Amino acid sequence: MKIDPDDRNSLTETTRQLMGNVAIVLVGPKYPENIGAAARIAANMGISQLIVVSDDPPDQERMRKTATHHNSRLIDTMQMYADLGTALATFSWVVGTSARQGRQRRLLTSPRRMVVDLLPKLAENRVALVFGPEDCGLTNDQLKFCNSVACIPTADFASINLAQAVAILSYELYTGVVQFQSESAGKPSAKLAQSGELEGMYEQIELTLHKMNFLKEMDYGYWMHNIRNFLGRVGLRSREVKFVRGFCRQVVSLAKEKDA
Amino acid sequence: MKIDPDDRNSLTETTRQLMGNVAIVLVGPKYPENIGAAARIAANMGISQLIVVSDDPPDQERMRKTATHHNSRLIDTMQMYADLGTALATFSWVVGTSARQGRQRRLLTSPRRMVVDLLPKLAENRVALVFGPEDCGLTNDQLKFCNSVACIPTADFASINLAQAVAILSYELYTGVVQFQSESAGKPSAKLAQSGELEGMYEQIELTLHKMNFLKEMDYGYWMHNIRNFLGRVGLRSREVKFVRGFCRQVVSLAKEKDA
């Protein structure tokens, strides 16, 4: 097919740069064909990176068949990780995906709303869109890494095919970026803390609550869930994470003094 | 998965009725897996009908595998036609799909704009979303049936997988319908002429131009293309089609008198 030079307008290069900050993260995909199809649509929408969280490398032939030769570049550069936390460590904004029936209701948002929230952060931050396995989606333990969780609305409340869910979210993001670019040229965007920094902070918060004897043993999970929901939505910067950790250290040393 | 009764709000039933007026039409699909995947996402978005235009019935097993058991209902009721004109005869608004590089530039619109144009017509008219074969898309001869042509924007100007294109347009339409429902309860929508009526009218217009000796022989295709573009966009009602045909009859009888 021929490319029309008129379509390569001045926004295109910046749009490409923004989309280049986005990665698709597939957790435990069962069918290599879905990985290939996700790679193809991600490349179509200018997304630069594909990450698979799995113990077993997927079948190359089945994966490359649906990726098509033209879009095999995301398969060539695909990264594999054994666990989600490590995969997300350098990302500063993590969007999970879920069927409507999930328990993480407070974080649930529509794909369009998710994109609106994400766009101002995209210039300065690496963003991950995380999708669970075909049959069961992301677990609550995996959703805890997410700043927000997008749910694709459906008429029948049934789950959507993995590669089609990737298609819908990638398309929403790309069209959102194109529109955002034309509306907000020049406005600055804040650099957020990375997922690895946040996880260190959450560990320290939980440790601090323990040291304070703040809660009965059985309630920590519940409280940490709420704290993650709240702090995750905020979009903390690195220095704010350092502030929270410093605060926790103070609290712990106070608790020690009291015990002494 | 459990269904939350809170999500079945008062809009849902009307949304279902509107989406029930929509059909997905796949012209010459090469892979039965894509038909199945299209059926699945169409059912997810409340679309009630799937039509395949092809001479050969697709492989049931390969098709049903990607449709999944839960969404096999659209496969069970799937209609097959040998030609697109017959398949579309009872539809009143036909949306084609095309990669950006098509020659039918004048009709090209974004999926979101396509949905905005379509929504006021949906209550009273059957609507078809038409997708071409995986490798080459719809021909100009097939695009001539379309009132508008939607082009999914991409960063790399490459074609999108068929089932993912169906996913993106079905999703746009469903989210548009849900939003439209909440904004325009009670407003009436006009009943448009069906595709079969329009085709009869176009034949009569072309015959009339011939009888008038209006054009040199080689220009009829070009003129009919322009006339289709113009009248297709308008969204003619049945009585307007009858008016145009009556006008053509008058012109032909005038031409005959002149020759006599």
Contact A19, A174 (CB under 8 A): yes
- Kindly report the backbone phi and psi dihedral angles of residue A95, in degrees, each rounded to the nearest multiple of 5, phi listed first: -110, 120
pLDDT tens digit sequence for B216-252: 666 778 778 878 877 777 778 888 888 788 878 887 8
A94 has pLDDT over 90: yes
Residue ranges making up the domain that contains A101: 17-183
Judgement on whether residues A149 and A33 belong to the same structural domain of the protein: yes
Q: Based on the number of CB atoms within 10 Å of its own CB, is A108 exposed (0-12), middle (13-18) or buried (19 or more)? A: middle
More confident residue, B138 or B106: B138
DSSP code string of A122-184: TTTS-EEEEE--TTT---HHHHTT-SEEE----SS-PPPPHHHHHHHHHHHHHHHHHHHHHH-
Mean pLDDT of chain A: 85
pLDDT tens digit sequence for B82-124: 999 999 999 999 999 987 654 555 568 899 999 998 998 998 8
Separation between Cα atoms, residue B94 and residue A45, nearest integer Å = 26
Q: How confident is the model at residue B256 (pLDDT cuts 50, 70, 90)?
A: confident
Contacts (Cβ under 8 Å, ≥6 apart) of A49:
A22, A23, A24, A74, A77, A79
Separation between Cα atoms, residue B61 and residue B49, nearest integer Å = 20
Q: Give a yes or no: residue B212 inside a domain.
A: yes
Judgement on whether residues B110 and B166 belong to the same structural domain of the protein: yes
Closest residue, chain B, to A46 (C-alpha): B155
Interface test with A, best of B168, B170, B173 (most A CBs within 10 A): B168
Separation between Cα atoms, residue A27 and residue A241, nearest integer Å = 27
- Nearest C-alpha neighbor of B101 from the set A3, A12, A70, A71: A3
Q: Give a yes or no: residue B189 inside a domain.
A: no
Q: Does B152 contact chain A (CB < 8 Å)?
A: yes
Residue of A41, A100, A101 with shortest CB distance to B164: A41
**Strand, coil or helix: B24:** strand
Judgement on whether residues A170 and A47 belong to the same structural domain of the protein: yes
pLDDT tens digit sequence for A66-89: 998 777 889 999 999 999 999 999
Q: Give a yes or no: residue A4 inside a domain.
A: no
Separation between Cα atoms, residue B241 and residue B3, nearest integer Å = 46
Judgement on whether residues B167 and B199 belong to the same structural domain of the protein: no
Q: Is the dihedral of CA B84, B85, B86, B89 positive or negative?
A: positive
Closest residue, chain A, to B16 (C-alpha): A155
- Nearest C-alpha neighbor of B197 from the set B121, B88, B124, B103: B88
Look at B70 and A4 and tell me if their CB atoms are within 8 Å: no
Chain position carrying tokens 């072309």:
B206
Judgement on whether residues B214 and B93 belong to the same structural domain of the protein: no
Chain B residues close to A168, C-beta within 8 Å: 167-168, 171
Q: Based on the number of CB atoms within 10 Å of its own CB, is B88 exposed (0-12), middle (13-18) or buried (19 or more)? A: buried
- Interface size A-B, in CB pairs within 8 Å, comes to 114
Judgement on whether residues A152 and A64 belong to the same structural domain of the protein: yes
- Nearest C-alpha neighbor of B31 from the set A242, A65, A4, A58: A65
Q: How confident is the model at residue A2 (pLDDT cuts 50, 70, 90)?
A: very low
Separation between Cα atoms, residue A70 and residue A41, nearest integer Å = 11
ipTM: 0.74
Mean pLDDT, residues B203-212: 85
Contact B40, B170 (CB under 8 A): no
B158 has pLDDT over 90: no
* Token output for B223: 């003129």
Total structural domains within chain A: 2
Residue A117 belongs to domain with CATH number: 3.40.1280.10
Judgement on whether residues B179 and B205 belong to the same structural domain of the protein: no
Mean pLDDT, residues B23-33: 97
pLDDT tens digit sequence for A206-256: 888 888 777 766 677 877 887 887 777 777 888 888 878 887 887 788 777
Judgement on whether residues A61 and A121 belong to the same structural domain of the protein: yes
More confident residue, B40 or A211: B40
Give, for B149, the enclosing helix (H) or strand (E): strand B148-150
Q: Give a yes or no: residue A80 inside a domain.
A: yes
Residue A257 CB neighbours (<10 A): 8
A107 has pLDDT over 80: no
Q: Give a yes or no: residue A5 inside a domain.
A: no
Judgement on whether residues B39 and B167 belong to the same structural domain of the protein: yes
Q: Does A146 contact chain B (CB < 8 Å)?
A: no
Separation between Cα atoms, residue B237 and residue B125, nearest integer Å = 11
Q: Based on the number of CB atoms within 10 Å of its own CB, is B72 exposed (0-12), middle (13-18) or buried (19 or more)? A: middle
Q: Give a yes or no: residue A190 inside a domain.
A: no
Q: Check residue A252 and give its pLDDT.
A: 80
Residues 9-38 of A with CB under 8 A from B: 12, 15-16, 19, 37
Residue B199 belongs to domain with CATH number: 1.10.8
Q: Check residue B209 and give its pLDDT.
A: 82
Chain B residues close to A3, C-beta within 8 Å: 101, 157
Q: Give a yes or no: residue A6 inside a domain.
A: no
Contact B35, B29 (CB under 8 A): yes
Judgement on whether residues A148 and A33 belong to the same structural domain of the protein: yes
Residues 173-232 of A with CB under 8 A from B: 174-175, 178
